């Protein structure tokens, strides 16, 4: 199977030079909203995302533990250092790809709101954590579109994050 995947990747890259900015690379860039509406995002999530990713963001796995739909927050989700922990990146990804097989069907307001809701939930610690949430935020998350180190629902996000790293299945 690995050889097949490597062969496919080599085929896709045929003719591409190192450093070329190929179509589809990176996250879709959307015009930023005047504010992030987390409450609206919770409603959008319940209506459009929970069926696959679970009501508590836990994702879905097979009986063997293989991931079918990834968790979006909690101890098994991506960590605070991942690109998707930036609401800007998450919004671009969601707009282009979600709901599954229906990319481009959510309006920008809903996309920003659901990205904010997802990224305002707790997740594993940023691997660059310095021992201080405030210092880590200042060094790596200093943006209005990043919830790490912000107070949400009476909790400082990142303060009680489980250690980053591989979580066993």
Q: Which of 159, 143, 141 shows the shortest CA–CA distance to 151?
A: 159
Does residue 25 sit within a domain?
A: no
The pLDDT of 138-151, averaged and rounded, is 97
Q: Containing domain of residue 105, as a range? A: 36-156
Q: Work out the pLDDT band at 168, boundaries 50, 70, 90.
A: very low
What CATH number did the domain enclosing 90 receive? Answer: 1.10.760.10
Tally DSSP H helices, then E strands, for the chain: 6, 4
Does residue 164 sit within a domain?
A: no
Residue 77: pLDDT above 80?
yes
- How does strand 155-156 pair with strand 151-152? antiparallel
Q: Which two tokens stand for residue 21?
A: 């900015």
Q: What is the model's pLDDT at position 166?
A: 52
Does residue 169 sit within a domain?
A: no
19: left (phi over 0), alpha (psi -120 to 50) or beta: left
Does residue 99 sit within a domain?
A: yes
Q: Which two tokens stand for residue 119?
A: 């990224």
Instruction: Scan for tokens 């990804």, then name that residue.
Output: 93
83 or 18: which leads in pLDDT: 83
> What integer best gives the mean pLDDT of the chain?
91
Does residue 140 sit within a domain?
A: yes
Q: What is the model's pLDDT at position 109?
A: 97
Residue 60: pLDDT above 70?
yes
Instruction: Report the domain count for the chain.
Output: 1
How many whole angstroms separate alpha carbon 73 and alpha carbon 6?
30
Angle at 40 between CA 38 and CA 42, to 5 degrees: 70
Does residue 90 sit within a domain?
A: yes
Does residue 10 sit within a domain?
A: no
Residue 146: pLDDT above 70?
yes
The pLDDT of 30-57, averaged and rounded, is 97
Does residue 121 sit within a domain?
A: yes
């Amino acid at each position: 199977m690995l050889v097949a995947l490597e062969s496919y990747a080599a085929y896709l890259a045929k003719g591409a030079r190192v450093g070329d900015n190929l179509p589809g690379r990176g996250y879709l860039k959307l015009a930023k909203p005047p504010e992030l509406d987390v409450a609206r995002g919770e409603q959008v999530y319940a209506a459009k995302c929970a069926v696959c990713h679970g009501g508590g963001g836990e994702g879905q796995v097979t009986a063997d533990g293989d991931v079918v739909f990834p968790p979006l927050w909690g101890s098994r989700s991506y960590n605070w250092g991942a690109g998707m922990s930036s609401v800007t990146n998450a919004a671009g990804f969601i707009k282009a790809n979600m709901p599954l097989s229906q990319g481009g069907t959510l309006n920008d307001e809903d996309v920003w709101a659901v990205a904010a809701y997802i990224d305002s939930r707790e997740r594993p610690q940023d691997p660059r954590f310095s021992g201080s949430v405030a210092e880590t935020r200042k060094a790596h998350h200093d943006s209005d579109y990043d919830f790490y180190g912000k107070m949400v629902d009476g909790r400082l996000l990142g303060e009680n994050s489980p250690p980053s790293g591989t979580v066993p299945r």
